[in-house]
Structure 1
């Protein structure tokens, strides 16, 4: 079940409303960034995202060799890819990372809603950023790519803001 200490009431209702038809009341919005609050009912949806990357027909496979920075914009209806060129303009883009390399995820809050960026394995967050709720606030998360990484998401919005991660070896 979702702990109520991380989600705003509006975000919680948006997150759970359509899927369950039950309105949950949420309290405080401050989060610790520990990455354990995505509801169980969305686990299957997140697993589908991780298992079935939705990559573009052309150009996606190329150009990841020299990437060390991923830039995204957070909107309640999805992540918007900014950089590298392979994800520019894509909603909830899938990412290709090379195992053992360090990556800097730079994301900007585009709508003033509460967001964070978490990288998950098949069960829980491996690492996550702090939550940001100010429009145009920029947050950076630096990670080393490991083969456990399967997807990235906003823990406030779950599968509405999630993309697969493909881990490659050199």
Structure 2
């Protein structure tokens, strides 16, 4: 015969196991019971689209200098102008035919340079490599429609950002 103490313990264990199973299964569905795997991918696509949004016109019209910090682990970190302050690998908007001063600082003492490449994966501008923490490098560039990305050529996967060249 089962004592009341054993029955209570078994009842409790069954209830806990049932609750855990329900919670796990509920987390696999969107509440309709259909377990739609597409919803996760749709959310990711929406996030990517928001990340690729064009920088607003007004924020970039008067910009003539762009300041970045080079971090091998964190990428390019924007400092100036205000719309990119603190942003990692920020999208930059340039106006075709205007000159821009790119100022970048080696923030970690790793080997870095600053380069602008066209979409055919050819460098248009490339600075010397710098490996001294705190060293600042400046280069002046005239924006052209062929410009596609800016990057560090030694960390091109971690340190790359988009360039949007706009017509005046």
TM-score normalised by length of structure 2: 0.66
CA deviation string 1:43-67 (max 9, x = no partner): xxxxxxxxx893469xx41310000
Shift of 1:159: 1.7
Query: Counterpart of 1:63 in 2: which secondary structure?
Result: helix
Matches within 5 A, 1:1-170: 54-55=51-52, 60-61=55-56, 62-77=58-73, 78-122=75-119, 123-170=121-168
Shift of 1:160: 0.5
Query: Counterpart of 1:106 in 2: which secondary structure?
Result: strand
8 Å Cα contact 1:55/1:93 also seen in 2: no
8 Å Cα contact 1:128/1:141 also seen in 2: no
Please give the root-mean-square deviation of Cα atoms over the aligned residues, in Å: 1.7
TM-score normalised by length of structure 1: 0.66
8 Å Cα contact 1:53/1:94 also seen in 2: no
Higher helix residue share? 2
Return the alpha-carbon distance in structure 1 between the equivalents of residues 77 and 53 of structure 2: 14
**RCO higher in structure (CA 8 A, sep ≥6):** 1
Gaps of 5+ in 1: 1-51
**CA 1:149–1:53: 2 relative to 1, 3 Å:** farther
Q: Is the radius of gyration larger for structure 1 or structure 2?
A: 2
Return the alpha-carbon distance in structure 1 between the equivalents of residues 106 and 50 of structure 2: 24
Gaps of 5+ in 2: 1-48
**CA 1:152–1:53: 2 relative to 1, 3 Å:** farther
